[in-house]
A and B are shown apart, each in its own frame.
Chain A
Amino acid sequence: MIIKEMPVMTFTQVMAGFLNKPLNSIRMKSNISSKARIISVVCAVALGVSLLFPLWRIDLTAPQYPEGLVLKIYPHKIGGNVEVVNGLNHYIGMRTLHTEDFIEFTILPYLIAIFALFGLLSALVKRRWFFYTWVFLFASFGVVAMIDFYRWEYDYGHNLDPNAAIVVPGMAYQPPLIGFKQLLNFGAYSFPDVGGYIFLSVGLILVITAVLEWKRAAKVSSAAILGLPLLLLLQSCNTSAEPIAFGKDQCHYCKMIISDRSFGAELITDKGKIYKFDDTHCILSFLKSGDLQQPQIAAVFLVDYAQKEKLIPAETAFLIRGDAIKGPMAGTIAAFETEASMQSFQQQWKAQQVSWNEVVSQ
């Protein structure tokens, strides 16, 4: 199947179909699917379009600038109220911003064009390695670009004229990479603009597509595929494991202070609520109580017996059970991050290896 023969579909339809249907025709293992090819084309076009829009914007507000000032970073120039901002920055001795001072603005449009071209080519070439290379290079480019942007902000925010009218000791004027920061009387908001959102979307879609392609080829379980976006989501919602404060935090189940640093567990709900436990015995009892339904549980972490205090995902932890294991609440299970560390203790205690799923379902 080549692109021309595809019925005209909207992007979402393509995505929906792509996600729903099992991939039934794996004819050429070294080739990408036709859906991936369409996505490549769409992403390539989107990248081309992004050339017209600013990638990033820094909004500045101050009491006397109720209308705000904005710096827009296009692929080829700095736009917005550059002159006004330069005029204000001279008080604090910041160098003036000029498009021609940045080699990036010369290179960036070409780079983006090349990535767009790469995308079109990967649809034509169809080769999996070609597609993967594209995605990898593009993702790397994104990371490098952000590092470069940070370096640039740091440089301008820190290298100030020592003879400036206003010198506040210890004060730097580096805008935030992303988010908000107060700089004297100015509030600085740094966020992607249209081009930047196109970039992010393209990056995200390509990475997901690449993973799906990889899964199609390798037949990996869908759970693993979900790992990546889920991880992203977890981080964006700030629901990753919170360290247990030993000697301070209370076990949610037995209400005792968590103190043995070799044992303990943590459960995070889909709403980001965190429950802490001092022993596997307690978390298992809690799970069995039925207070929480399985879908409400976003993640479970266990303390690594060998590394102490370190929380590791329960799903991937290596568990052993034996009477020689003495948890604080008479639990008989210990968790390990690595198989090697588990094995040494397993022999010592003559314990039996178990999996988290087994333990939970028992």
Chain B
Amino acid sequence: MKLFQTTLLLVVITAAIQMTGCKPKGATGAVTGSATKAYVAPGKYDEFYNFVSGGFSGQMSVYGLPSGRLFRVIPVFSVDPEKGWGYSEETKPMLMTSNGFVPWDDLHHISFSQTNGEIDGRWSFGNANNTPRVARIDNKTFRTAEILELPNSAGNHSSPFITENSEYLVAGTRFSVPVGDNQDVPIASYKQNFKGTISFISIGKEGDLDIAFQLLLPGVNFDLSRAGKGPSHGWFFFSCYNSEQANTLLEVNASQRDKDFILAVNWKKAEEYLKAGKGVKQQVRYAHNKWDEKTHTAKHEIRTEVTVLDPAILKDICYFIPCPKSPHGCDTDPTGEYIVGSGKLAAVIPVFSFTKMQKAIADKKYDGEFGGIPVINYEAALHGEVQKPGLGPLHTEFDANGNAYTSFFVSSEIVKWNVKSLKVLDRVPTYYSIGHLSVPGGDTRKPWGKYVVAYNKITKDRYLPTGPELTQSAQIYDISGDKMELILDFPTIGEPHYAGSMPASLIKDKSLKIFKIEENQHPYVAKGEKEAKVVREGKKVHVYMTSIRSHFAPDNIEGVKVGDEVYFHVTNLEQDWDVPHGFAVKGALNAELLIMPGETSTLKWVPEKVGVYPIYCTDFCSALHQEMQGYVRVSPAGSNVPLTFHVGKQGAAAADSTSK
């Protein structure tokens, strides 16, 4: 009977082991001992600038690599009360569109100006995904210098990617929309009436943006794009999905075909047609806003014409290459020979060969047409497929050694593979659900390698919880060895999509420290306290105000009446680095001003109640910052209190009263 007992005991133990031994294991993924690689000692500089898109924040943020330290959030498409962006009179025109003032947008992608296929450090670019626009950021000031709206576009997602000598920025529309005079059409007439457009935006010597031409294309969703480089310079490649041409429930209806397309555009050919006058001029309305550094003011204009080329008629500009299941990323490698398509739902990563593609075009190896554009035979253009790379491939960046790094959203990992051999070399998990990834210079002819940064959509248990809304994050992996190694997590502004990095040396020494006061051509500048004054023009009261440590001039103003429009034109007289002054008025239905040395900014204030209103400096400027304050007296509308102002001495100076 002992044996029986033993048997029973064994059965119970076996069951118990099964109960405990077969449970899923919890997540792990802490950095193990590589944190020093991301450590930049206090007072030391980072090796790279990392410009990160803010997604729905509409801004661009600047971090250091490898420390992950945040340096600056550049306001681009969204208002930023902290910096007065979109609130000061000078910046309001930057956010004007053909629809009027738009205070917000969704910035997804970054690109940098290039010379000979290398990042040159002059400008950074960002796209507005909602109200289609592109922006140019001046890397000397880290400010938005220009914003150009895009007509015939909706959802400017496939943007702002750039050619290797900064000839063009492109802007491909995510939503196809009715184009032309009659736009009041049934949504269900998508196939007949909806068109996709791609804009080629020329970049002038000084960075000026102008739409050189638009390509009119079949109604699909353009997603991402990359310029050819080296041998493929002169071409541009765009991924597109929804070749099903669905207009509802795209999650299902746009996922039916085995293959969508990569669109190859021979833009040199398009230039020829343009020169030959084959373009059609179309009447449209779009905004062009440009910052003037001399007047410290933006100028907003509406442009009314765009030249459109139709590749269905003008042959040899466009070719479709079939690409498996809803391609997202479309990336060209540093040699310019290989084009990597990443089907979001595909089980392989196809890599196309530029040479084979050219040969297929020469041999006319086509599988019919789509919307009047030839479809190149898949195999004829294919270099090969990466087998079993992972689940949900999205984007690919490259290092200098012929390796590619692809992000996988569904399987939440980065996979390193060799571009020539198509062999998977390494994979690391990301936490969690990576979207874009970025290698310094990883989209150019000259990648610096060293790191790959993952931009993740989900952070869940990675940081202390902050209620339902959690931070998004980036993760830095060291790629200098054979194995990728996670070295740092850091939270980001908004939701990061694409980002780019460049060596600090390209920007660091060119960074502007101050604006020279003598070059200030602002119409309301006061280049010294002597020029400080208050001028009434009917209902408008212009305050020519100066700020210097630690007072405003004037700081006592009387004679303002309810219903007046008061414009505080505040000039920061400082000529020393890192001494901004702020300016705020109690009860103003507006934001603050943050004025850099040598700059003039204007805050509009319409007082609605009688009283004495404090004004003060908001940026801790000096030991006596708390003393940097003043008052504005507001009298009733019909009052006869004279307009006076002064600073420092009792007794008022008489105001100029030009009352027009």
Contact = CB atoms under 8 A, between A and B. Distances in A.
Interface string B251-262: 110011000000
A101 interface: no
B221 to A, nearest CB: 14
A63 B255 contact: no
B345 A166 contact: yes
B188 interface: no
Interface stretch (A116-124, A229-237, A324-332, A347-355): A229-237
B345 A185 contact: no
B584 interface: no
Contacts of A222: 1, 3-4
B412 A184 contact: no
A164 B8 CA distance: 49
Contacts of B14: 233, 236-237
Nearest to B460: A66
Interface in B9-33: 10-11, 14-15, 18-19, 22-27
Contacts of A59: 23-24
Given A64-B460, A165-B252, A197 B15 contact: yes
A59 B413 CA distance: 22
Contact of A164 (B5, B252, B433): B252
Contact of B432 (A64, A233, A237): A64
A329 to B, nearest CB: 33
Contacts of A236: 11, 14
B432 A66 contact: yes
Nearest to B432: A64
A233 B11 contact: yes
Do most interface residues of chain A lie in helix, strand or loop, or is the interface mixed? mixed
Given A64-B432, A163-B252, A189 B22 contact: yes
A114 interface: no
A114 to B, nearest CB: 26
B410 interface: yes
A67 B461 contact: yes
A127 B654 CA distance: 118
Contacts of B252: 163-165
A59 B51 CA distance: 40
Interface residues of B, number: 38
B391 interface: yes
A222 B4 CA distance: 8
Contact of A191 (B10, B19, B410, B431): B19
Interface string B57-75: 0000000000000000000
Given A64-B412, A233-B14, A225 B345 contact: no
B2 to A, nearest CB: 9
A229 B11 contact: yes
A87 to B, nearest CB: 12
Contacts of B460: 64, 66-67
A63 B22 contact: no
Contacts of B251: 165
B347 interface: yes
A168 B413 CA distance: 20
A232 B410 CA distance: 41
Contact of A185 (B19, B27, B347, B412): B412
B429 interface: yes
B165 interface: no
B7 interface: yes
B391 A191 contact: no
Contacts of A201: 15
Contacts of A66: 26-27, 431-432, 460-461
A146 interface: no
B108 to A, nearest CB: 21
B7 A200 contact: no
A63 B432 contact: yes
A243 interface: no
Given A63-B411, A64-B432, A168 B347 contact: yes
Contact of A68 (B1, B10, B24): B24
A62 B429 CA distance: 11
B411 A185 contact: yes
A292 interface: no
A187 B8 CA distance: 32
A185 B411 CA distance: 5
A226 interface: yes
A204 interface: yes
In order of increasing CB-CB distance, the 4 nearest A-B pairs are A66-B27, A63-B412, A165-B255, A64-B432
20 contacts: A15-B8, A19-B4, A63-B431, A63-B432, A64-B432, A64-B460, A66-B432, A67-B461, A68-B26, A165-B255, A166-B345, A184-B410, A185-B391, A185-B412, A189-B22, A191-B18, A197-B15, A222-B4, A225-B4, A230-B7
Interface of A: 15-16, 19-20, 59, 61-64, 66-68, 163-166, 168, 179-180, 184-185, 187, 189, 191-192, 197, 200-201, 204, 208, 222, 225-226, 229-230, 232-233, 236-237
